[in-house]
Amino acid sequence: MFKFTGKVLSLSAAALFASTVISSAASLDDLAKAAKAEGELTVIALPHDWCGYGAVIDGFKAKYPDIKINELNPDAGSGDEVEAIKANKDNKGPQAPDVIDVGLSFGPSAKKDGLIQAYKVSTWDSIPDSAKDAEGYWTGDYYGVLSFLVNKDLVKEAPADWADLLKSDYANTVALAGDPRASNQAIQAVYAAGLSGGAAAGEAAGTAGLDFFKKLNAAGNFVPVIGKPATLAQGQTPILVTWDYNALAGRDTLKGNPPVDVVVPKTGVVAGVYVQAISAFAPHPNAAKLWLEYLYSDEGQIAWLKGYCHPIRFNDLSKNGKLPADVMAKLPPAEAYASAVFPTLDEQGKAKEAITKNWDAVVGANVK
């Protein structure tokens, strides 16, 4: 089991960090001292090649060298993370995660089940309201938006928006990165197409998205193959609808063979959000809070950006001129993300039901 360093926090310090807001540099210094006294932080499901997490962890270690980071199961899924909290409620040892990084839908359910605790970071006000729990139980940390990965050898003029995909120029070229009857990424792509056409959020956008793909399929433009960078390079799926961070990573993997464009559409810019939360049973609650402070600082947010994931404070950083030019040069233009929409859980649920239940009847394409 983890051992504390023997330093004892005063009652006043303990009372201070029962608060959910860090409001000053002095408070942050006090939090860092309390975290140092705990001496450890346990994270889970953070592969180093996901969103630049390797560099994020290294940055935290460099800033707070007295806090040891214990990394659990880097390949775990969101459900595994939640189960790790449940299984270790009474365990203060190395199998008990202090913090989790999970898909959006897992945040509210973990709150409902009493598995996470509230904490609002000092940069709270710069985080979109739609991407955080009002009470601070979970906070959106980064997101991707649906984009078009385009094989420039085969597509001479890249589509700029969803409606462009219906043009005859794109016959037999457009693919999804998953099966829209099961894949969240593909479901969100159908939803985004519906929003782009002016439909209201939720079920209406899901239905409109189905109509869009019905037209795309009827036009002969839709390829019913689960697309990947490899199928794009081979010419089987010259235009792939996928999360932008996957598209950008695919661009790196292909290394110019073939040359590709990564296009964020002008409308229907749908963001897929992950969220950060602290376990209600965290063995090292102050270290967990300090970790969140680092993640939501300019430094932490830019570290995620370097890993091609858009940090939740992206628009705030852009507005204040804090986005590094060399990093941004590898990404689509910042203004392309300004209109990103963060679907609510209710909207996601209604759209998902409409799309998964009606894809076969409306579109009739067996994606595999």
Tens digit of pLDDT for each residue in 274-314? 899 999 999 999 999 999 999 999 999 999 999 899 899 99
Confidence of residue 349 (pLDDT cuts 50, 70, 90): confident
Confidence of residue 14 (pLDDT cuts 50, 70, 90): very low
pLDDT, one tens digit per residue, over 110-143 is 999 999 999 999 999 999 898 899 999 999 999 8
Q: How far is CA 178 from CA 184, 213, 340, in A?
A: 8, 14, 21
Confidence (pLDDT) at 319: 93
Angle between helices 203-218 and 184-196 (to 10 degrees): 90
Query: What SS3 state is found at 79?
Result: helix
Confidence (pLDDT) at 25: 60
Q: Strand 99-103 and strand 174-176: pairing? A: unpaired
CB 251, CB 308: distance < 8 Å: no
Taking the C-alpha atoms of residue 172 and residue 290, their distance in angstroms, rounded to an integer, is: 50
Handedness of CA 259, 265, 266, 270 (dihedral sign): negative
Say how many Å lie between the first and final Cα of the chain, rounded: 47
DSSP letter at 32? H
Residue type present at position 147: S
Peptide bond into 224 cis (omega under 30): no
Taking the C-alpha atoms of residue 230 and residue 265, their distance in angstroms, rounded to an integer, is: 22
Q: What is the gyration radius of the CA atoms in the chain, in angstroms?
A: 22
CB 238, CB 173: distance < 8 Å: yes
Taking the C-alpha atoms of residue 199 and residue 196, their distance in angstroms, rounded to an integer, is: 7
In degrees rounded to 5, what are phi and psi of residue 57? -65, -40
Confidence of residue 73 (pLDDT cuts 50, 70, 90): very high
Confidence (pLDDT) at 130: 83
Element (H, E) at 352: helix 345-362
**Residue 198: pLDDT over 90:** yes
Average pLDDT value for residue range 88-115: 92
